[in-house]
Structure 1
Amino acid sequence: MNAIMRRALVSAMALSLAAPLAACGKDQQEAGAGKDAIGLLLPENKAARYEKFDHRIISSRIASLCLECKVDYGNAEQQVDTQKRQFDALVKKGVKVIILDPVDAQAAKSWVDSAAKKGVQVVAYDRLAEGDVAAYVSYDNEKIGRLQGQGLLDALGSRAAAADVVMMNGSPTDPNAPSYKKGAHDVLDGKVHKVVYEKDIPDWDAAIAKKKMTDVINSRGPQGFDAVYSANDGMAGGIAEALKAAGLKNVPLGGQDAELPALQRVIAGTQSFTIYKEVRPEAETAAEIAFRLLRGKSINGLTTTTAGNSSKSGIPARLFKAQIVTKKNVNDTVVRDGVVRTDLLCAGDLASACASLGLK
């Protein structure tokens, strides 16, 4: 065999050996793609908290727990189809733990169940997704609704028993919305005269809430109601605009989430209260649960109760508390905890109102 033939034979043998090795290497890489990855899917960016707090805090906490870990993030911008594509992409990549705050809890059931069969563990975050969920981190949402109802009663004071109330509830696709509604009704029913108008607002849309409030004002007249329950601060902003456009003042109005514009309305007196839910402990706990699941460790020390959806009971859960924020305690809650800076809260025309409350 001459030198040219020997070289050709050696090259052919090398290529034949390299092919299965390369294929094996590719299979191993794909199989281990999710070893150090955690998926994070948030539902929307209309509420300021998701991009400003949840995403940042969860990513930071995972980085502190695991230097080699990567957070694979997506925001669905309130689109179910977008979130499904994001979820499916994570599963296809081999991500084995996904923190999911669903746009539509019921729609997510088939994705969650399918992923669970492939060994993917889903941590339901803030909203309890349907399906085979591994863990759940949120708040006691009925209690939040009761706090909202109590905040409205407190704002009405002696007028409560004769008051007619308008209720703008949360999105019908959000599993938390019925809990807020139930909690609020538990407190308001029998304590106010009656609920004269009630509507679930799709996608928590502030513009829709504003339009519905305008319709109520036009149909019932400016004296046809005494207070407005709003399930969150974004919708409360739209409602406040409708009240202002109609020249209505001093109408008790509540919300939820302690967003900066809502806190400014509380200071200005155009919103009676909001509900402060500390995002940091919720987000950090979800991050640590996800990391422990990724590494096959127990989450018992992080889950203090259980929850259930329509298809699964006994889901390990951690539910945090919330509190009412009014003018009287804004300094001892959101300001104290660094949720909002006073220079932003008290900007412009609010300087004198802040000064009278001792906010500096």
Structure 2
Amino acid sequence: MNTLMRRAAVAVAISALAVSATACGKAGDDKDSGSSDSGSKSIGLLLPDSVTTRYAKFDKPYFDAKVKELCSECKLEYANAAGNASTQAQQVSSMITKGVKVIAISAVDSAAIKSSIQAAVDKGIKVIAYDRLAQGPVSAYVSFDNEKVGELQGQSLLDAMGDKATPKSKVVMINGLASDPNAGLFKKGAHKVLDGKVDIAYEQAGDWDDKVAAQKMSAAITQLGAKNIAGVYSANDGMAGGIATVLKGAGISTVPLTGQDAELSSIQRILAGTQASTIYKAYKPEADAAAQLAVNLLENKSIDSLATTTQTSGSGDKVPSQLLTPVALTKANIKDTVIKDKLYTVAEICTAPYAAACKAAGLQ
């Protein structure tokens, strides 16, 4: 081969390599931009706070596992707002930017998040209200019957008070965060049961914060007198922990105290006798239901068989809903609820300080 022919062959080879490299580059670009394709299989989960142990320990892993079971190619985008409504609004914006197609959100503030939900929907994103009914154009809502939760709490308090539950018996009521629509439903349900049967002598919001609840309990004791308090309604277990500490300090730790969420510490307080009851809302069925709704919405499948009822949000939107059934938990049914469902093991509950109480309750 002469020099001219050799140079021509080299030129052809280089040109072929360039075409091949360009083709490879385009394939790679498609894959990267395929991150937007993979984004079309992205589901966002936004949870409200980190002080309530259920969200990180149960809701998130259960939701993630169910999504992956139903959609192996789906990716979960997760964030926790740490109780800050502005942070949660920013997290919705981030989810929009990432190209998620469905967002399940438990709102810090159901009204404040409305504009963020509208912005997501305007981008073609479907939104599920998880555990708390957010305002705005949400596609579905999954939670428990939250007014029923309040009714169970109220009845559990009356049951624990026994013959001390009279119209003159003074009860302290510490409700949840006013901006959480569930808190209003718990309160409504509890009042439905308690009103007329006891005297709700002091009622304040504890904001889902154990320290705030403790301060309110201290104020109630100052106002009413420790010996005059016959029972305490706490809307959840986190606040009940702070309240129980104040009650113990005031020498009235045997006063019946309610809660909600079946936190490990509340189960132990129930065994020890410093909390009378909690409300068990099985996290796995709720997270599984939300994940199923999310995947159905992602795949443009009907949710009619899942969301079989309707709830009206604070913004007046009628939302297809799936409501699960809560259970009142006392010392008598620990074994048949949280242990049976493997939420906690006996070993986790029955640590050394609670060993005797566990034995007495038949757990060991």
Q: TM-score, structure 1 length as denominator?
A: 0.91
The SS at the match of 2:232 is: strand
- Superposed CA deviations along residues 28-50 of structure 1, whole A, max 9, x for unmatched, are 64753521110011111111110
**Kept after mapping to 1: 8 A contact 2:137/2:317:** no
**Kept after mapping to 1: 8 A contact 2:308/2:322:** yes
Task: Kindly provide the amino acid, as one letter, of the partner of residue 315 in structure 2.
Answer: S
Task: Kindly provide the amino acid, as one letter, of the partner of residue 190 in structure 1.
Answer: G
Alignment of 1:75-224 (within 5 A): 75-161=80-166, 162-192=168-198, 194-202=199-207, 204-224=208-228
Is 1:321 matched with 2:321?
no
- Greater alpha carbon shift after TM alignment, 306-315 vs 175-184: 306-315
Aligned CA-pair RMSD:
2.4
Partners of 1:311 and 1:275 in 2: CA distance = 28
- Superposed CA deviations along residues 100-155 of structure 1, whole A, max 9, x for unmatched, are 11111111100111211211100110001110000000011000000000001101
Structure 2, unmatched stretches of 5+, are none
Alignment of 1:180-329 (within 5 A): 180-192=186-198, 194-202=199-207, 204-329=208-333
How far apart are 1:218 and its partner, in Å?
2.1
- Greater alpha carbon shift after TM alignment, 83-92 vs 125-134: 83-92
Structure 1, unmatched stretches of 5+, are none
Alignment of 1:46-61 (within 5 A): 46-61=51-66
Q: Relative to structure 1, is the Cα distance of residues 159 and 32 closer, same or farther in structure 2, using a 3 angstrom cutoff?
A: same
The SS at the match of 2:111 is: coil
Task: Kindly provide the amino acid, as one letter, of the partner of residue 173 in structure 1.
Answer: S
The SS at the match of 1:253 is: coil
The SS at the match of 1:339 is: coil
How far apart are 1:313 and its partner, in Å?
3.4
How far apart are 1:336 and its partner, in Å?
1.4
Alignment size in residue pairs = 352
- Superposed CA deviations along residues 260-314 of structure 1, whole A, max 9, x for unmatched, are 0000000000000000001111100100110111111111121121111133433
Task: Kindly provide the amino acid, as one letter, of the partner of residue 53 in structure 1.
Answer: F
Partners of 1:357 and 1:27 in 2: CA distance = 58
Task: Kindly provide the amino acid, as one letter, of the partner of residue 82 in structure 1.
Answer: T
Task: Kindly provide the amino acid, as one letter, of the partner of residue 322 in structure 1.
Answer: P
Partners of 1:144 and 1:137 in 2: CA distance = 15
Partners of 1:31 and 1:344 in 2: CA distance = 43
Partners of 1:27 and 1:330 in 2: CA distance = 51
**Kept after mapping to 2: 8 A contact 1:105/1:128:** yes
The SS at the match of 2:178 is: coil
**Kept after mapping to 2: 8 A contact 1:255/1:273:** yes
- Greater alpha carbon shift after TM alignment, 80-89 vs 141-150: 80-89
Partners of 2:209 and 2:123 in 1: CA distance = 36
How far apart are 1:26 and its partner, in Å?
9.3
